[in-house]
Amino acid sequence: MTRFALTLEFDGGPFMGLQRQAHGPSIQQAVEEAASAITGEVVTMHAAGRTDAGVHALGMVAHIDVAKPIAPFRLMEALNAWLRPKPIAVLACEVMPEDWHARFSCTGRAYEYRILNRRAPLTLAKGQAWQMPKPLDAGAMDRAAQVLVGTHDFTTFRSTHCQARSPLKTLDRLAARREGEYVVIEASARSFLHHQVRSMVGCLALVGIGRWDDARVADALAARDRQRLGLNAPPDGLYFLRATYSSGVEHTELA
Amino acid sequence: MTRFALTLEFDGGPFMGLQRQAHGPSIQQAVEEAASAITGEVVTMHAAGRTDAGVHALGMVAHIDVAKPIAPFRLMEALNAWLRPKPIAVLACEVMPEDWHARFSCTGRAYEYRILNRRAPLTLAKGQAWQMPKPLDAGAMDRAAQVLVGTHDFTTFRSTHCQARSPLKTLDRLAARREGEYVVIEASARSFLHHQVRSMVGCLALVGIGRWDDARVADALAARDRQRLGLNAPPDGLYFLRATYSSGVEHTELA
């Protein structure tokens, strides 16, 4: 068996999420079916992150194991051909050691959230950004974001369906910046709780319109109570950017 | 009657083009129907450019005349509300003099063409860029573009359905640049022939992959023969960027 790491880009709009679901299409099902069609084998995909329905990826990392001898470039090309016309693309494909695991070896995950800050509705970016009509103060959002950076109990910012054993997470970076009509928020950590990025973005948006301040964000965090969450941002604006890997002296950044 | 200038952004994908068509939806029909619903009047829209099916706009300028007294901001908000969920947005709305005309007063039009230059297929940018798998030399494309700048008979770069009286046009600017995975081509002129931008982009793409050189572009131009066109680029990658207006001492740039 050869283990292949895949870097995936996808539009999450038409999918029920990354993970295989009984009730609808998923990224996992699409990639597994394409790989099975190519190899004639039953293929299982493991990914660095389990993105929700409607969440996109610019550089999701996943792996599959294949018995049939095939070069990484040929596998990538064949997967892209089989995946058409679904909005999933394999951007990179490389052979990895058998003990490397897209999810368990991953030491860093980065997300980006895009808010289109204008009154006019979305056209070309429909389903790919969150539209907020009220003017956002990106500077205030960036300052408030620093309240959340560090090791905390993120219960307030965690979906009630979250399956993680502990609500304790270390948020390495949370930054907001203006880019023209957009406010872009970047978040990176070893791992995130379910809905954590969208929950943090929702509260920062309240700061951006002046309804919340830094103290209110700190209170919400300290409360460790999901009821204290200000707002959960919709999936449309969320992008899985990249996964980082390190093992011993080696350091691999895929995507 | 009050004349309102509208700056429009739209995803051209679901439309048969900007102009009203008997056989399918158009930007013009959508805006006219929204304006009629708001005012109870029969409203006609005139636009700076007549984009084809599948061509997008980030700053198309158009005008409508309305008898009902309404403030520009309220008209814009009402149009955006009525246009939902169609991917058309009114970004700006202002009152103009009665002799100002979105099409006939326009002294400059600018387009952008986006080529996604990679092997992996389009996902999030599906319908919004032209995917070219072979590596493009943007520098060579930019140099070849200069052959086309200036006043020429653009018969080679003109659709056989073009209704313009003369094939003589002055191309003010044609520039290609690399932006990461993208090659972006900008074109500006007082006006363009039908399919002119897509025809020029098609030939520049042949230069980009090394199949054509500057001399071949010059030959094609000099031939004044549509049969000598190398390639007509698809509509997906084309964006109407902005329209420029000047009258006497005044100078207005909308969008």
B24-37 confidence digits (pLDDT tens): 999 999 999 999 99
Residues B151, B129: Cα–Cα separation, whole Å: 28
Identify whether B235 is part of a domain: yes
pLDDT score for A248: 40
Domain-terminating residue out of A104, A130, A149? A104
Cβ distance B11 to A126 less than 8 Å, yes or no, reads yes
The ipTM, to two decimals, is 0.91
Identify whether A161 is part of a domain: yes
The reply to whether A112 and A7 lie within a common domain is no
Q: Tell me: the pLDDT tens digits for B208-219?
A: 999 999 999 999
Domain-terminating residue out of A80, A104, A128? A104
Tell me which residue in B118, B119, B123 faces A87 most closely, judged by beta carbons: B123
Tell me which residue in A10, A121, A123 faces B123 most closely, judged by beta carbons: A10
Q: Tell me: the pLDDT tens digits for A23-76?
A: 899 999 999 999 999 999 999 999 999 999 999 999 999 999 999 999 999 999
Residues of A whose CB is below 8 A from B122: 87, 89
Six token digits for residue A222: 């300290």
The reply to whether B149 and B202 lie within a common domain is yes
B-chain residue closest to A11, CA distance:
B124
The reply to whether A33 and A123 lie within a common domain is no
Identify whether B253 is part of a domain: no
Residues A231, A221: Cα–Cα separation, whole Å: 13
Answer yes or no: is pLDDT of B56 > 70.
Answer: yes
Catalytic residues of B: 52
pLDDT (mean) for B169-192: 97
Beta strands in chain B (DSSP E): 2-10, 46-47, 56-66, 88-96, 106-116, 130-131, 150-153, 168-179, 182-189, 238-247, 250-254
Is the distance from CB of B131 to CB of B214 less than 8 angstroms?
no
Catalytic residues of A: 52
The reply to whether A100 and A111 lie within a common domain is no
Six token digits for residue B146: 């200069």
Answer yes or no: is pLDDT of A247 > 80.
Answer: no
In the block, residue with structure tokens 């979250």: A162
pLDDT score for B20: 94
Pick among A75, A119, A123 to test the B interface (most B CBs inside 10 A)? A123
The reply to whether B49 and B131 lie within a common domain is no
The reply to whether A100 and A117 lie within a common domain is no
Q: Tell me: the pLDDT tens digits for A231-240?
A: 999 999 999 9
| Confidence category of residue B158, pLDDT binned at 50, 70, 90 | very high
pLDDT score for B252: 54
| Confidence category of residue A171, pLDDT binned at 50, 70, 90 | very high
The reply to whether B55 and B99 lie within a common domain is yes
Residues of A whose CB is below 8 A from B134: none
Identify whether A63 is part of a domain: yes
pLDDT score for B251: 44
Total domain count, chain A: 2
The reply to whether B16 and B141 lie within a common domain is no
Say which amino acid occupies A106.
C
Is the distance from CB of B150 to CB of B185 less than 8 angstroms?
no
Containing structural domain, residue B73: 2-104
Say which amino acid occupies B245.
Y
Answer yes or no: is pLDDT of A141 > 70.
Answer: yes
The reply to whether A115 and A159 lie within a common domain is yes
Domain-terminating residue out of A70, A87, A104? A104
Instruction: Identify the CA nearest to A184 among candidates A109, A112, A242.
Output: A112
Residues A90, A8: Cα–Cα separation, whole Å: 5
Q: Which CATH number belongs to the domain containing residue B173 in this structure? A: 3.30.70.660
β-pair type (B150-153, A250-254) = unpaired
The better pLDDT of the pair B249, A106 is held by: A106
Identify whether B231 is part of a domain: yes
In the block, residue with structure tokens 């994908």: B13
Identify whether B23 is part of a domain: yes
Is the distance from CB of B202 to CB of B232 less than 8 angstroms?
yes
Per the prediction, chain B carries an average pLDDT of 95
B-chain residue closest to A84, CA distance:
B121
pLDDT score for A22: 86
Give me the count of residues in chain B.
255
The better pLDDT of the pair B252, B42 is held by: B42
Identify whether A255 is part of a domain: no
3-state secondary structure (DSSP) of residue A66: strand
Q: Which CATH number belongs to the domain containing residue B38 in this structure? A: 3.30.70.580
Identify whether B255 is part of a domain: no
Q: What percent of chain A has pLDDT over 70?
A: 96
Residues A72, A94: Cα–Cα separation, whole Å: 6
The reply to whether B162 and B212 lie within a common domain is yes
pLDDT score for B254: 57
Distance from CA of A174 to the nearest CA of B (A): 24
Pick among A84, A116, A124, A239 to test the B interface (most B CBs inside 10 A)? A124
